Chain A
């Protein structure tokens, strides 16, 4: 039933005007791994996320997710198929409580409609109770249950990031895609996040992680994909990638300094 590969990306391209945001990027993500996606600013990491989750339509290439093609789907269909994401700039439902934020994540896995809402029949009530219970459990899981009734916008920054993860988990994803979850966190918060990510993986989730915090990436990721100017420049285990001269050049501007030496 469970094959080894969860997601296959083949030759994904995306162009914005004259900028090649993504050029023929291919990779595979296996079940149960934490797959890192790194690269300098503007390398195309978030673009890849947006193409994967249906916010952008790719110019070329295709995704296969869980054995089925994932092309030209709308974001909500992608979520239904089992990819949940967080955003680089936190996008919570600011004026709703933390609990409600997670409950909205359950939307795609529940089905009460207008008549259920108005008539409040047994099934709807049971579904609502289940939604609330599950949402609360998820808040406990990520560690913001104490602030369940506070508006999302009043949560501390780190808690907001965790709440976004809880909301994404509420959609029962097969792949959890996190866009810079540690951005803006201090060392303690990052440590707590690392433990959370490890917990999530231990509970059987596959994670795609964009992150600038190299210490975090190198310590939790099984494999890492490195993008630069929209192209894949390296892929492999954390150790392999770290010592790849192309990666070092991309991060430290190796080629440029070589040119300077030559001149």
Chain B
């Protein structure tokens, strides 16, 4: 094989080929159609499922944000939910009767992302020299500090309304067209959650594209270099301080956006929603899906959002059918099965449900006889 041929192959394998094969196009169209009709299909089971789909997308954004910090840069962050909280409260305070400020969502979401970004740098700056367990403990503390602040910032000046939280938060609204209310669009009747679904889908796709582009860039490679070997990264001229801070800042801003959306769709926030458990769930999505691999992380987020809900709706009827009575209530069994599923996945697929393509290709090569050296 000539060098030119080898080079062409390499470039294609690296994933920046110009022509997209028709099979891929067909797949894209199929997925687009499926995503477009999904909220109506889900509504056949119940509007609750449309809400769950919306939640799944919020979690996809959160998990992708955390994936930048944990998956790309390799910095274990256990307080990620704090940025979600910052975004959520930013929206709640600037679009609710609490301060009687009602800014439009397209102003607040970027502001929330910006503020979360600043908090990301605030967390990143003092922890630059920490790694692994030590970093995990500091970030865990940071997450709790934010939550406790939100819980107690109702005195002497009532900023966050303390544990009661803030309600009557404005939904997304464009010129009097509120996404929360049911109503026809172009003659088709839409429920509130269904309208949100399409806005969220658009935002999620934007977030996914940004993440894909970040990963395959000079910056994305620098993050991965730091994850792999920080000293070597420094010796190759990467300013690890700046690049790490950028990882924290970028990850946090996606958390901030997701938080703002959470506020608007729920129309209510309280500190309870931002506990350690939430941080761990989002981390589990990243790890289970396949750390550092964007499709894997999306899969992880969707699965871990849907699985508990499916269990919630199936476990009690199932017990009723089997034993004639409910032995364990749905909430308990949900966590039990959830936990077992996590353990099983970690045992059976330690690299995650959908590990990165490079790793898979490598495994195949290793199995082939020519790869054995």
Chain A positions within 8 Å of B, measured between CB atoms, are: 53, 55, 74-76, 79-80, 84-85, 87, 91-97, 99-100, 103-108, 110-114, 116-118, 120, 124, 127-128, 131-132, 136, 140, 145-146, 148-151, 154, 156, 167-168, 170-171
The 3 closest A-B pairs by CB, nearest first: A108-B237, A79-B237, A117-B217
B205 at the binding interface (Cβ < 8 Å): no
Q: How far is the CA of A124 from the CA of B229 in the complex (A)?
A: 26
Which residues of chain B from 220 to 279 have a CB within 8 Å of any chain A CB? 220-222, 224-225, 228-229, 231-240, 246, 250
Interface contact A92-B218, CB-CB below 8 Å? no
Interface centre among B225, B237, B238, B250 (most CB of A within 10 A): B237
Pick the contact of A171: B214, B231, B237, B361 (CB < 8 A).
B237
B358 at the binding interface (Cβ < 8 Å): yes
Q: How far is the CA of A156 from the CA of B370 in the complex (A)?
A: 13
In the complex, given contacts A91-B231, A107-B236, what are 19 additional A-B residue pairs having Cβ atoms less than 8 angstroms apart? A84-B236, A87-B232, A87-B235, A91-B232, A93-B225, A95-B228, A96-B224, A96-B225, A104-B221, A108-B238, A110-B218, A111-B218, A114-B214, A118-B213, A149-B358, A149-B361, A167-B236, A168-B236, A171-B236
B122 at the binding interface (Cβ < 8 Å): no
Pick the contact of B365: A92, A100, A154 (CB < 8 A).
A154
Which among B7-15, B32-40, B137-145, B178-186 touches the partner chain?
A: B7-15
User: Can you offer 7 A-B residue contacts whose CB atoms are under 8 A?
Assistant: A53-B235, A79-B237, A92-B229, A94-B229, A146-B6, A148-B10, A150-B362
CB distance from A91 to the nearest CB of B (A): 4
Supposing A80-B237, A110-B218 touch, asked if A145 and B13 sit within 8 A by C-beta, the answer is no
Interface contact B14-A149, CB-CB below 8 Å? yes
Task: List residues of chain A with CB within 8 A of the CB of B239.
Answer: 74, 76
Pick the contact of A76: B16, B220, B228, B240 (CB < 8 A).
B240
Interface centre among A76, A99, A146 (most CB of B within 10 A): A76
CB distance from A236 to the nearest CB of B (A): 30
Chain B positions within 8 Å of A, measured between CB atoms, are: 3, 6-7, 10-11, 13-14, 16, 210, 213-214, 217-222, 224-225, 228-229, 231-240, 246, 250, 358-359, 361-362, 365-366, 371, 373
Q: How far is the CA of A110 from the CA of B347 in the complex (A)?
A: 42
Pick the contact of B10: A53, A117, A136 (CB < 8 A).
A136
Q: How far is the CA of A214 from the CA of B236 in the complex (A)?
A: 28
Interface contact A151-B236, CB-CB below 8 Å? no
Task: List residues of chain B with CB within 8 A of the CB of A168.
Answer: 236
Can you name the residue of chain B whose Cβ is closest to the Cβ of A103? B221
Task: List residues of chain A with CB within 8 A of the CB of B232.
Answer: 87, 91-93
CB distance from B12 to the nearest CB of A (A): 10
Supposing A74-B234, A91-B231, A93-B232 touch, asked if A128 and B217 sit within 8 A by C-beta, the answer is yes
Q: How far is the CA of A145 from the CA of B371 in the complex (A)?
A: 16
CB distance from A101 to the nearest CB of B (A): 8
Interface contact B235-A114, CB-CB below 8 Å? no
Task: List residues of chain B with CB within 8 A of the CB of A171.
Answer: 236-237
Interface contact A145-B358, CB-CB below 8 Å? no
Interface contact A151-B362, CB-CB below 8 Å? yes
Chain A's interface: helix, strand, loop or mixed, by majority? helix
Interface contact A140-B3, CB-CB below 8 Å? yes
Task: List residues of chain B with CB within 8 A of the CB of A111.
Answer: 218
Q: How far is the CA of A249 from the CA of B210 in the complex (A)?
A: 63
Interface contact A113-B233, CB-CB below 8 Å? no
Pick the contact of B366: A92, A116, A154 (CB < 8 A).
A154
Q: How far is the CA of A87 from the CA of B225 in the complex (A)?
A: 15
Task: List residues of chain A with CB within 8 A of the CB of B218.
Answer: 106-107, 110-112, 116-117, 127-128, 131
Q: How far is the CA of A120 from the CA of B220 in the complex (A)?
A: 13
Supposing A96-B224, A113-B219, A154-B366 touch, asked if A75 and B235 sit within 8 A by C-beta, the answer is yes
Interface contact B13-A114, CB-CB below 8 Å? no
Interface contact B235-A93, CB-CB below 8 Å? no
Q: How far is the CA of A260 from the CA of B310 in the complex (A)?
A: 83
Q: How far is the CA of A261 from the CA of B214 in the complex (A)?
A: 69
Supposing A117-B213, A117-B218, A117-B219 touch, asked if A104 and B14 sit within 8 A by C-beta, the answer is no
CB distance from B267 to the nearest CB of A (A): 31
Interface contact B359-A151, CB-CB below 8 Å? yes
Interface contact A156-B373, CB-CB below 8 Å? yes
Interface contact B221-A100, CB-CB below 8 Å? yes
Interface contact B358-A151, CB-CB below 8 Å? yes
Task: List residues of chain B with CB within 8 A of the CB of A91.
Answer: 229, 231-232, 235
Interface contact A120-B219, CB-CB below 8 Å? no
Task: List residues of chain B with CB within 8 A of the CB of A110.
Answer: 218
Q: How far is the CA of A170 from the CA of B14 in the complex (A)?
A: 18
Task: List residues of chain B with CB within 8 A of the CB of A74.
Answer: 234, 239
CB distance from B140 to the nearest CB of A (A): 26
Q: How far is the CA of A85 from the CA of B359 in the complex (A)?
A: 27
Q: How far is the CA of A128 from the CA of B224 in the complex (A)?
A: 16
Interface contact A93-B229, CB-CB below 8 Å? yes
Interface contact B6-A145, CB-CB below 8 Å? yes
Task: List residues of chain A with CB within 8 A of the CB of B228.
Answer: 92-96
Q: How far is the CA of A168 from the CA of B10 in the complex (A)?
A: 21
Task: List residues of chain B with CB within 8 A of the CB of A114.
Answer: 214, 219, 246, 250
Interface contact B365-A150, CB-CB below 8 Å? yes
Q: How far is the CA of A168 from the CA of B339 in the complex (A)?
A: 46
Q: How far is the CA of A168 from the CA of B237 in the complex (A)?
A: 10
Task: List residues of chain A with CB within 8 A of the CB of B225.
Answer: 93, 96, 104, 107
Can you name the residue of chain A whose Cβ is closest to the Cβ of B366? A154
Interface centre among B6, B221, B240 (most CB of A within 10 A): B221
